Amino acid sequence: MSSAPFELADHLDDVTELVRAAGDLALRWYRTGHRVDNKRAEGFDPVTEADRAVESELRRHLGDRFPDHQILGEEFGLSGHGPRRWVIDPIDGTRAFITGQPMWGTLLGFTDGDRPVAGWMHVPVLGETFVGHRQTSLRTADGQRRLEVRPTERLEDAIVLCTHPTMFAPGQQADAFARVADRVRMVRYSGDCLNYGLLAMGLADSVIENGLASYDIVPLVPIVEGAGGVVTDLDGNPPLEGGYVVASATPALHEATLELLRP
């Protein structure tokens, strides 16, 4: 007797609860002065016991429930085989986490082949969970509501979010971002993954970042797109490998932003 075909919609609620529980696990270490390790021989790329614990928890549950799916995580790499993949960033915003700031979250994405199908973001300190699937984005905090981006089309009306200006290398990249910053209404820094949730909520109009990994952005693409937004790299392609990422509320704003950012 053959098994029933896999339907992600049948698992959405369970996976949402799994992401919440795993993300909340990190609160055991939050603002405790815990040990921080550095993953780089040069520079600083922090990782904590909380990062490893959250990813391990998600891997254990996902592996039990979906043994024929791949799992890709920031801390423990790739396991499994097949066209379907779960993508984990246990704590997106580790620098915020280790300095006691609230703007960090647990990310989980699901891809089928090269296509991001669904994404989850749980922000434990704020008690907010974002879910994107099938062109719909939802946010749950004190209730649940559907998300929709703003209809902003002009750069002069746009609010741009970016985690940090040093994401852009001195010279061409920094100059290009400065051209955008000079045109828009306002630029705000910090935020990490939450920036994309704020875009989906209609509280900002663009997110521009560089140096992302696949696990930083794949879970967020369905959330932005489900709210009506656009997410690409500088060439207008899906940013499945990370790198330079531009997310915008409308196609018109997106193209105007890309025109200023491209060499």
Indicate whether 48 and 113 sit together in one domain.
yes
pLDDT in tens, 98-111: 999 999 999 999 99
Distance CA 86, CA 109 (A): 6
Domains of the chain: total: 2
Can you read off the two tokens belonging to residue 67? Answer: 């043994």
Indicate whether 14 and 136 sit together in one domain.
yes
Give the pLDDT score at 4: 60
Task: Please identify, among 98, 113, 146, the residue that sits at the C-terminal boundary of a domain.
Answer: 146
Indicate whether 56 and 140 sit together in one domain.
yes
* Domain-located, residue 116: yes
Indicate whether 104 and 228 sit together in one domain.
no
Give the pLDDT score at 256: 98
Query: Which own/partner pairs from 240-243 qualify as long-range (CB within 8 Å, at least 24 positions apart)?
Result: 240/111, 240/114, 240/116, 240/214, 241/214, 242/211, 242/212, 242/213, 242/214, 242/215, 242/216, 242/217, 243/210, 243/211, 243/212
Please give the distance of CA 48 from its chain centroid, rounded to a whole number: 19
Task: Please identify, among 111, 146, 181, the residue that sits at the C-terminal boundary of a domain.
Answer: 146
Indicate whether 173 and 51 sit together in one domain.
no
* Domain-located, residue 120: yes
For residue 99, the domain's CATH number is: 3.30.540.10
Indicate whether 184 and 114 sit together in one domain.
no
Domain region containing 131: 8-146
Indicate whether 123 and 224 sit together in one domain.
no
* Domain-located, residue 219: yes
Task: Please identify, among 92, 127, 146, the residue that sits at the C-terminal boundary of a domain.
Answer: 146
Indicate whether 77 and 161 sit together in one domain.
no
Q: Which residues of the chain have pLDDT under 50?
A: 1-2
| Nearest in space to 89 (alpha carbons), one of 127, 114, 113, 123 | 123
Indicate whether 41 and 132 sit together in one domain.
yes
Give the pLDDT score at 83: 93
Indicate whether 99 and 177 sit together in one domain.
no
Give the pLDDT score at 20: 98
Indicate whether 75 and 168 sit together in one domain.
no
Half-sphere exposure of 201 (CA within 13 A, CB side): 16
With helix as H, strand as E and coil as C, how does the chain read?
CCCCCCCHHHHHHHHHHHHHHHHHHHHHCCCCCCCEEECCCCCCCEEEHHHHHHHHHHHHHHHHHCCCCEEEECCCEEECCCCEEEEEEEEECHHHHHCCCCCCEEEEEEEECCEEEEEEEEECCCCEEEEEECCEEEEECCCEEECCCCCCCCHHHCEEEECCHHHCCCCHHHHHHHHHHHHCCEEEECCCCHHHHHHHCCCCCEEEEEEECHHHHCCCHHHHHHCCCEEECCCCCCCCCCEEEEEECCHHHHHHHHHHHCC
Indicate whether 12 and 114 sit together in one domain.
yes
Give the pLDDT score at 3: 53
pLDDT in tens, 221-244: 999 999 999 999 999 999 999 999
* Domain-located, residue 23: yes
For residue 201, the domain's CATH number is: 3.40.190.80
- Sequence-separated (6 or more) residues with CB below 8 Å from residue 64: none
* Domain-located, residue 3: no
* Domain-located, residue 1: no
* Domain-located, residue 254: yes
* Domain-located, residue 242: yes
Can you read off the two tokens belonging to residue 173? Answer: 């990249």
